[in-house]
Structure 1
Amino acid sequence: MPASTRLAHRVAELHGCSRADAEQYIQNGWVSVDGQVVESPQHPVDAQRVELHPDARVEPVEPATVLFHKPVGVDAIAGTDPASSHVTPATHWADDPSGQRILQRHFQRLTPLVPLEKDASGLMVLSQDGRVWRRLTEDADQIEHEYLVEVSGEIAPYGLHRLGNGLEYQGRELERCKVSWQNETRLRFAIKAARQGQLQAMCAQVGLEVVSIRRLRIGRVPIGKSANGAMPPGAWRYLPVGEKF
């Protein structure tokens, strides 16, 4: 019986590659032990069957960024039902266009970014990538978000113009934004630097009550659509390589 050794060492021996390349193969999910993918280079093996996927390629171990369609009632960060607990292999959107293979390491240390209020739904970002974190925190006020806001009531005269120009919230004058009617009860906002409660307060200033809020887009990144329709609430997809906010 072969002596127990680290998986990376066994892969390097079997396939004539360097230890560093073997570790990258393993961390990217290309190596299986007795038919089960193992992502830890330190995993001990002895007589088990170790196989390298025929499509395996040496590539950097990239951090994952997840785009999640948060349902109403799910907590963005803290709380009894955080968004991160809903990001599992079982809830991966079947029509995810990224082509990214699901790896167990993608579900570790996901940081929720640009959170939504509990009673709002729509696009949320969870990421392991420091570059995405910096973009969505340090440049947050420069990134436009798009919301679909269902309202009730009768809008005040010139209310649509007022929504887009010069309202105040919490003692500060708001920047201009783009607001339009999608239908008789739904407004579409394209707005930067919106704070918690701001959309509700803006609508209240023109005689409208907010019924629901759904975020459709962050910067250039939308929830996502396919031939089968939009990504449904509770599902997630990967941010494709090269797609930026």
Structure 2
Amino acid sequence: MTEAPVKEGERIAKRLARAGLCSRRDAERWIEAGRVKVDGKVLETPACVVTEKSVIEVDGKLLGAPERARMWRYHKPPSEMVTARDPEGRRTIFDSLPKSLPRVVTIGRLDYFSEGLLLLTNDGGLARQLELPANGWTRRYRARVHGNVDEAKLADLANGITIEGVRYGSIQASLDRQQRSNAWIDIALTEGKNREVRRVLAHLELPVVRLIRVAFGPFHLGELERGLVDEVPPQALENLLGVKRPPRKEGWAKPKPRPAPPHAKRRRT
């Protein structure tokens, strides 16, 4: 997967998103509002393909070159929504992320109560590609459950399971340790359906008390503290994803993790 110059053209909404101005959906709204011009003509529809030679203006200002693809690891705490705005007024990850971060989108999601590794990127196209089940990226979790674990039933999950008409693919699950009426389970899956881990374990009469994502494909949570953000070095993106990086500048060093927001608490598993 490489970041290459536009040759055959791309949709205007995608071009605006790659420039880091907005999401594709917002771009379509801007076009409907008459805020976008291409080659001096106000667009009336997002069904427009632009090339490198197109002159694009937004609110009368020329559009700059697309930003290079970047990615960050975020240790999401529980009780944060993975959304830009929550109609119920609950805290979102964007309330906690550093204001110095550019506009980012998430790669995959975590539910409100889940915690752990959440990947962020400024490239919406890259995010969609990495979320595709066809990539076969493994999501790894640690789940603390209430109840006594039947290890044979966990092993059976490797064959997949159907719950209330929904088919879940192969899940690798193993007991880490049983502590009286609670247990820790290690889980690996590739599909990542909505609330898959919680629903499957609840079906086994093992309600989840705590759920932590520890890895998403080749990216790991590691020792990143809760509430911290750490940019993935360009070299890692190039090696792992084939994303081209800009020429190295003198004095370049790996970015340091962002400081935790004031409300974040450090807590180890």
Q: TM class by shorter-chain length?
A: 0.5 to 0.7
Of 187-196 and 144-153, the range deviating more from structure 2: 187-196
3-state SS of 1:81 partner: coil
Percent identity over the alignment? 20
Letter in 2 for 1:112: T
Change (3 A) 1:198 1:138: closer
Partner of 1:194: 192
Please state how far the C-alpha of 1:140 moved relative to its aligned partner.
6.4
Structure 1: stretches of 5+ with no match in the other structure: 1-59, 90-103, 225-229
Listed one character per residue, the Cα deviations across residues 19-77 of structure 1 (whole Å, up to 9, x for unaligned) are xxxxxxxxxxxxxxxxxxxxxxxxxxxxxxxxxxxxxxxxx963431110000001111
Q: Is the Cα contact below 8 Å between 1:121 and 1:213 reproduced in 2?
A: yes
| Structure-1 residue corresponding to 2:232 | 239
Is this contact kept in 2: 1:68–1:125, CA < 8 A? yes
Aligned to 1:223: 221
User: Given the alignment, which residue of 62, 73, 92 partners 1:67?
Assistant: 73
Map of 2:173 onto structure 1: 179
What's the offset of the Cα at 1:127? 1.0
Q: Tell me, in whole angstroms, the C-alpha distance in 1 between the residues paired with 2:137 and 2:116.
A: 16
The structure-2 alpha-carbon separation of the partners of 1:221 and 1:170, relative to structure 1 and needing over 3 Å to count, comes to: farther
Equivalent-residue separation in structure 2 for 1:163 and 1:139 (angstroms) = 18
Higher relative contact order (CA 8 A, sep 6+): 1
Distance in 1 between the 2:218 and 2:112 partners? 24
1:208 corresponds to: 206
Q: How far did residue 231 of structure 1 move?
A: 0.9
Between structure 1 and structure 2, the one with the greater Rg is 1
CA distance in 1, matches of 2:151, 2:72: 42
The CA deviation string for residues 114-151 of structure 1, in whole angstroms up to 9 with x for no partner, is 11000000111121124531322345662210000001
Matched, 1:83 2:86: no
- The CA distance in 2 between the partners of 1:236 and 1:143, in whole Å, is 22
Check the 8 A contact 1:84/1:126 in 2, yes or no.
Answer: no
Aligned AA (2:158): G
1:170: how far off?
4.5
Q: Deviations over 1:151-208 (max 9, x none)?
A: 1112347222223323113413322121112221111111011222221221122221
1:122-133 alignment runs, 5 A limit: 122-130=116-124, 132-133=126-127
The code of the aligned residue for 1:72 comes to P
Counterpart residue type for residue 95 of structure 2: S
Contact kept, 8 Å, 1:84 with 1:112, in 2: the verdict is no
Q: Give the conservation status (yes or no) of the 8 Å contact 2:149–2:175.
A: no
**Per the alignment, do residues 167 and 122 of structure 1 end up closer, same or farther by CA in structure 2, a change over 3 Å counting?**
same
Q: What secondary structure, in the 3-state scheme, does the structure 1 residue paired with 2:174 have?
A: strand
CA 1:123–1:140 in structure 2 vs 1: closer, same or farther (change >3 Å)?
Answer: farther
Give the TM-score normalised by the residue count of structure 2.
Answer: 0.55
For the residue of structure 1 that corresponds to 2:110, the secondary structure is coil
Displacement after TM superposition at 1:239 (Å): 1.4
Long gaps (5+) in structure 2: 1-65, 242-269
RMSD: 2.3
SS at match of 1:76: coil
